[in-house]
Structure 1
Amino acid sequence: MPGATHFEEGAEEYDSARPPYPQALWDRLRMLGLLESGLTALDLGAGSGQATGPLLAAGMRVTAIEPGRRLATLLEAAHPAPRVIASRAEGVELPAGRFDLAVAATSVHWLDLDIMLPKISTTLAPNGRFAVWRNVFGDADAPQTPFRSRVAGIVAARHAPERPGPPAEDLAAMTEALTARGLFVVEDVSTYRWTVDLDAAAIGRLFRTFSDWSPAEVEQAVAAVKHLGGSVIEHYSSWLLVLAPTRRR
C-alpha cells in the first residue's frame, strides 16, 4: 500500500487534477467565524495548496506542513505568503496556543492520530478549532451511473490489502477516530453534494492521484469512459467536521 509520498511521483498532475473543495464548504467555515482575516491557520498535509490558497485569500496567516518536497515547492510557487514546512507533521514542533484554526483537508487519514491529536489540541489558541474535511470521489447516495458500475467492478477485482485504519471517506468512522481519545468533540458537521463532467483524459489524471489505484486499474477506468462515449458525469460529495478541544469545555 503506497504511503503519503505516493503523491510526490506525480506532484504536478496532482496539483492540476484534484478538483477544488465546494464553495459551500468555505461558506460554512466563514459562517462559523473560522475563516476571517487576521486569524492564524495551520494546514496539515497541505499538498500543493488546495486548502492553503482559500485560507490565504480570506486574509488568514497560514503555516502549511507538507511532507512531499515537490508538492511543497509547488505550494510555495503558487502561494508565496504562507510559511511552508517540508516535513511530516508528526516531527514538527508546534508552539502552544498559536493557531486559531488547524485544518486537515483530505489528509487526516495520513496522520498518526495518537501523536497528532494531542499536538493539535495543544497548539490551538483559546477558542481555536480543528476542521477536518475531504472530497469523496464517488457519492454513495447518488444513483449509480454506468461508469460507477465499472469502477465498482475494478475495485472488487483487486487483491491489494486495504489501507489500515478507519475508512478514509467514511464520515462516521473518521468522527469516531477523531473523538475516541477524548481530546476533541464534534461542534459542527455538514455534507455537500456536487457533480463534475470529466473526459477520459481527466479521469486518467484524477485517478492516477489516488494512492490505492494501480496504473492498470487507472487504464481500465479510462477505457470505460471511452467506451461510454468519451465523457462521464461524476457524482461526488464532501464532508466537513469542526471539532473543539475538550480541554476548554
Structure 2
Amino acid sequence: MVDPMHFDARAEIYERARPPYPEALWRRLCAVGLLAPGVRIVEFGAGSGQATAPLVEAGAEVTAVEPGPALAARLRARLPSVRVLVETAEAVALSDAAFDAAVVATAVHWLDLDVVLPKLHRALVPGGRFAVWRTVFGDPTARTAFRDQVERIVARREDPPRRSGPGELDTAAWARRLSVGDLFTEEFTELYRWSVDFSSDQVRDLFLTFSEWSAAEADAAAKAVDELGGQVTEHYLSWLILMKRADSSPA
C-alpha cells in the first residue's frame, strides 16, 4: 500500500520538482468566479503550495490543511499570509459556513470522502463551490520513447502498489463519488492537455516524489532521459471537476 506521508519525507524535493498546473485551469477558475479577491477558500492536502500560491495571488483568503509537518513548514515560509493547519482533512475542525469554496489539488485520492464530504458541506456557505483537480503524469494518447521506457520500468515491479478509489483518468467515476449523499452536485468536468520539458535531474527529482516509485526506479527513469539526449518532453493531463454545495442536507 502506498504511504501518504511519502511526500513529507521528500518535502524539499517535492517543492522544487512538482510542475505548476496549466494556465487553462486557472483561467477557468477565474471565469467561474472561484479565483477572486476576498474569496474564502479551504484547501485540503496543500503540500508546499503548488496550488495555494495562485489562489493567494488572485487575492483569496486561504486556509491550507496539510498533514505533513515538513511540507506545512515550507508552505508557511513560502506564503506567510496563509493560515496553515497541520492536520488531516478527516480530523481538522472547521467552523460552519466559514468558506466560500474548497479546493483539492492532486490529493482527492488520499481522502476518506465519507468523512470529508459531510464536513465540507457544513463548512461551505450555501451555493459554495468545491473544485477538485488532478494532474495525470503521462498522457496515454501521447506515445514517446521516454514513456516506453517508463512502462518497462513499471512492468518490472513484482508487487505493484495499490490504491483504492476510481482510476486517475476516470473522471466520470470521480464525479459520481463526489456526488455521493447528494451533498454536492456536478457543475462541469474539463480536461486540459499540456507538456513540459525535463532534464534527467528534473525527472529523477519528480519521480522521487511519486508515492509508488522507488529511488532505484527514479534513477532508471533519469538514465533513460540521458540515453535519449538529456532532455525529454512529457505530455500530461489535468482534469478539473467543479462541484456545487447542495442547498440543504438530505432529509
Q: What TM-score, normalized to structure 2? A: 0.95
Aligned twin of 2:160: 160
Maintained 8 Å contact 1:56/1:62:
yes
Does 2:9 align with 1:9? yes
Aligned twin of 2:106: 106
Aligned twin of 1:148: 147
CA distance in 1, matches of 2:152, 2:184: 38
CA distance in 2, matches of 1:185, 1:126: 13
CA distance in 2, matches of 1:23, 1:37: 18
The Cα shift of 1:186 comes to: 0.9
Does 2:126 align with 1:126? yes
The Cα shift of 1:167 comes to: 2.1
Which range moves more in the overlay, 65-74 or 181-190?
A: 181-190
Does 2:234 align with 1:228? no
Does 2:41 align with 1:41? yes
Q: Judging changes above 3 Å, is the alpha-carbon distance between structure 1 residues 213 and 170 closer, same or farther for their aligned structure 2 residues?
A: farther
CA distance in 1, matches of 2:233, 2:122: 43
Aligned twin of 1:66: 66
Maintained 8 Å contact 2:2/2:162:
no
Which range moves more in the overlay, 59-68 or 215-224?
A: 215-224
Alignment of 1:193-208 (within 5 A): 193-208=193-208
Maintained 8 Å contact 2:161/2:212:
no
Alignment of 1:168-187 (within 5 A): 168-187=168-187
Q: Which amino acid letter does the alignment assign opposite residue 47 of structure 2?
A: G
Aligned twin of 1:26: 26
- Deviation per CA, 1:217-246, whole angstroms, max 9, x where unpaired? 112211111111111110011111100123
The Cα shift of 1:248 comes to: 4.8
CA distance in 2, matches of 1:184, 1:193: 26
The Cα shift of 1:76 comes to: 0.3
CA distance in 1, matches of 2:247, 2:201: 48
Maintained 8 Å contact 1:134/1:169:
no
The Cα shift of 1:169 comes to: 4.3
Structure 1: any 5+ residue segments left out of the alignment? none
Q: Judging changes above 3 Å, is the alpha-carbon distance between structure 1 residues 153 and 170 closer, same or farther for their aligned structure 2 residues?
A: farther
The Cα shift of 1:175 comes to: 1.8
Overall identity of the aligned pairs, in %: 51
Does 2:51 align with 1:85? no
Which range moves more in the overlay, 121-130 or 165-174?
A: 165-174
Q: Does the residue aligned with 1:90 lie in a helix, a strand or coil?
A: coil
The Cα shift of 1:84 comes to: 0.3
The Cα shift of 1:2 comes to: 2.9
The Cα shift of 1:171 comes to: 1.9
Maintained 8 Å contact 2:40/2:100:
yes
The Cα shift of 1:166 comes to: 2.0
CA distance in 2, matches of 1:109, 1:163: 8
The Cα shift of 1:189 comes to: 1.5
How many residues align structurally?
A: 248
The Cα shift of 1:168 comes to: 3.4
CA distance in 2, matches of 1:56, 1:191: 24
Q: Does the residue aligned with 2:97 lie in a helix, a strand or coil?
A: coil
CA distance in 2, matches of 1:45, 1:198: 25
Q: Does the residue aligned with 2:133 lie in a helix, a strand or coil?
A: strand
Q: What TM-score, normalized to structure 1? A: 0.95
Q: Does the residue aligned with 2:182 lie in a helix, a strand or coil?
A: coil
Aligned twin of 1:238: 238
Structure 2: any 5+ residue segments left out of the alignment? none
Q: Which amino acid letter does the alignment assign opposite residue 154 of structure 1?
A: I
